[in-house]
A and B are shown apart, each in its own frame.
Chain A
Amino acid sequence: TQLLEQSPQFLSIQEGENLTVYCNSSSVFSSLQWYRQEPGEGPVLLVTVVTGGEVKKLKRLTFQFGDARKDSSLHITAAQPGDTGLYLCAGVRTGGFKTIFGAGTRLFVKA
């Protein structure tokens, strides 16, 4: 059982469309991170959310941390082919030290 459930697992959309990726857990996390990974590369940190209800924006990407700090979402507006990649959520449970990764959402944006 995944401690961090990501959905959808795979998403193929047209350029210009909007999309939302979800990261859910039954556990409370002290923080959650979102990473993007391109083929043959290591993950690159996009954002860290720490406070329940927090919303962070990174250009066309909007990240939200649930009020109870058990879930997070990533919304991409007007997706572009350059957004293609594997999106991973990861977090440290409250009181823990180890980072837990979700299974990832593979996004493909067609031109």
Chain B
Amino acid sequence: GAVVSQHPSWVICKSGTSVKIECRSLDFQATTMFWYRQFPKQSLMLMATSNEGSKATYEQGVEKDKFLINHASLTLSTLTVTSAHPEDSSFYICSASRGGERVTYGYTFGSGTRLTVV
């Protein structure tokens, strides 16, 4: 159990366009989802915490107008990179948690999305 599906796995887009990445929990309801960014050979950097039915909480330095997060249901969170630029090229990963006491037991991660902005 505890499968998280992330789509697309890779995307190439032109500078100035917007890209939407989906994160779905397939076999459980995820009250909380997290979005990370990972640069080559580096660890994960938390961008924002997405809570179902409420506004996302962004980490310091992350532009909320640039990275739009929507968590409209208990199984789906989306990250939209708006007006993408080459510096937004990165590996984006989501993770999901059932919330509550399970928070301390680890998260299930999606397989990641490689975004390349040309």
Q: Hey, which bits of chain A sit against chain B, CB under 8 A?
A: 30-31, 33, 35, 40-45, 48, 50, 88, 90, 92, 97-99, 101-104, 106
Contacts and interface: CB of A to CB of B under 8 A. Distances in A.
Q: Which of A30, A44, A45, A92 neighbours the largest number of chain B CB atoms within 10 Å of its CB?
A: A45
A41 B43 contact: no
B105 A88 contact: no
B21 to A, nearest CB: 12
A44 B107 contact: no
Contacts of B43: 88, 101-104
A42 B6 contact: yes
Interface residues on B, range: 20 to 34
Contacts, number: 56
Given A35-B109, A97-B103, 18 more contacts: A33-B107, A40-B112, A40-B114, A42-B4, A42-B93, A42-B109, A42-B112, A43-B44, A43-B93, A44-B109, A45-B106, A48-B104, A48-B106, A50-B105, A99-B34, A101-B46, A104-B42, A104-B43
Interface in B10-65: 34, 41-44, 46, 49
A35 to B, nearest CB: 8
Majority-rule SS of A interface residues: strand
Contacts of B116: none
A42 B34 CA distance: 13
B111 interface: yes
A92 B104 contact: yes
A20 B48 CA distance: 32
B41 A106 contact: yes
A45 B108 contact: yes
